[in-house]
Homo-oligomer: A and B are copies of this chain.
Amino acid sequence: MITIYDIAEKANVSAMTVSRVINNSGRISEATRKRVRKVMEELNYIPNSMARGLVLQKTKLLSLLITDITNPFYTTIARGAEDTAKRSGYKLLFGNSDEDYVKEKDYVEMILSTRVDGVLFAPTGDASLEQLRQLQKHGIPFVILDREVPGIETDVVLGDSKDGARKLVEHLIGLGHRRIALVNGSPDVSTARLRYTGYREAHLLGGLPLDESLVVSLNYREFQDEASLQALLSLPSPPTAIFAANNLLAVGIIGALRQRGLSVPEDVSVVCFDDFGPAETVNPFLTVASQPAYQFGALGMQLLIERIENGPGSENRKIMLPSELLIRSSTRTWDR
């Protein structure tokens, strides 16, 4: 491995001078600068960022933790975050918690031991509190994405889950549905709670009775709980529409409905949160509350960088991004 000492020797200067050339710090004669640069090229020198990080106590490395790398919502966030980080000269380390509390914990440990300068954090849920406290304890700045965690104060970028949910359910009510199921994420996740609230509000405003037997809570990551769907469909008066709390749940539900010989939207209408990325444009099907994912990432990253560069003690900002109702063909009127 080539070090600054190798460069120094070959260029007849001290290691310190090489360091100065690398960092453009201090005053150096144009002649030696050129000489050093040339030797660096010849020897194909690459600075060792571990050594540098060790003395500087910072790495110019940021971390983005998302909860599902196969969900287009999160990969689009990743794009936005990366573009923004790069613009400020930070490198980005992606992490994927798979909606799994244990993986999240592992990941935070790695973050801590890698000594990144900051973290853009999409929590798995309220239990992420422990991980976030851990980050605080070690003085790592972070910004929270998509889901609030009670007990933690920092910058946060959220979608308007309540409003989006209300819009979706009002759309269904407007189509004539009166039995609308909610297949929600876990109540340990703030977005799931807010989507429930929106669902509730739409019922109250629309004069529909609220029936708790129509509400089910699962894991956001995928729909595997056939039993709960079966229970919904076996109700004396089964739902004619289903509001899935996110895109992946919707996918699972539609598959399960079809296996039972039910078709969407003829037998059941389905709506959900979050779009599907490029794939969806081919054959737009699902009626969704679409959130501006790229902006989630870009804004979150911007807040994080400001937070890092302004040092501690900056006030906490909370940004709420609106969602847009996109009516497509997974919903239809109900007049039976």
Contact = CB atoms under 8 A, between A and B. Distances in A.
A289 interface: no
Given A51-B54, A70-B72, A72-B72, A109 B282 contact: no
Contacts of A94: 93-96
A223 to B, nearest CB: 10
A306 to B, nearest CB: 23
Contact of A113 (B46, B54, B72, B115): B46
A269 to B, nearest CB: 14
A1 B82 CA distance: 28
Q: Helix, strand, loop or mixed for chain A's interface? A: helix
A156 interface: no
Nearest to A96: B82
Interface in A70-120: 70, 72, 75-76, 78-79, 82, 86, 91, 93-96, 106, 109-110, 112-115
A79 B103 CA distance: 13
A275 B43 CA distance: 44
Q: A57, A115, A250, A254 — which one has the most chain B CB atoms within 10 A of its CB?
A: A115
A247 B222 CA distance: 23
Contacts of A54: 48, 50-51, 54
A298 to B, nearest CB: 14
Nearest to A112: B46
How many chain A residues sit at the interface, stated as a range, is 35 or more
Interface string A30-66: 0000000000000010111111011001010100000
A70 B47 CA distance: 31
A79 B75 contact: no
B115 A48 contact: yes
A187 to B, nearest CB: 24
A137 B1 CA distance: 10
A46 B108 CA distance: 11
A79 B69 contact: yes
A278 to B, nearest CB: 5
Interface of A: 1, 44, 46-51, 53-54, 57, 59, 61, 69-70, 72, 75-76, 78-79, 82, 86, 91, 93-96, 106, 109-110, 112-115, 134, 137-138, 222, 247-248, 250-251, 254-255, 276-283, 285-286
16 contacts: A44-B137, A44-B138, A49-B113, A49-B114, A50-B50, A69-B75, A70-B72, A70-B76, A72-B279, A75-B75, A86-B106, A94-B94, A94-B95, A250-B282, A254-B281, A277-B279
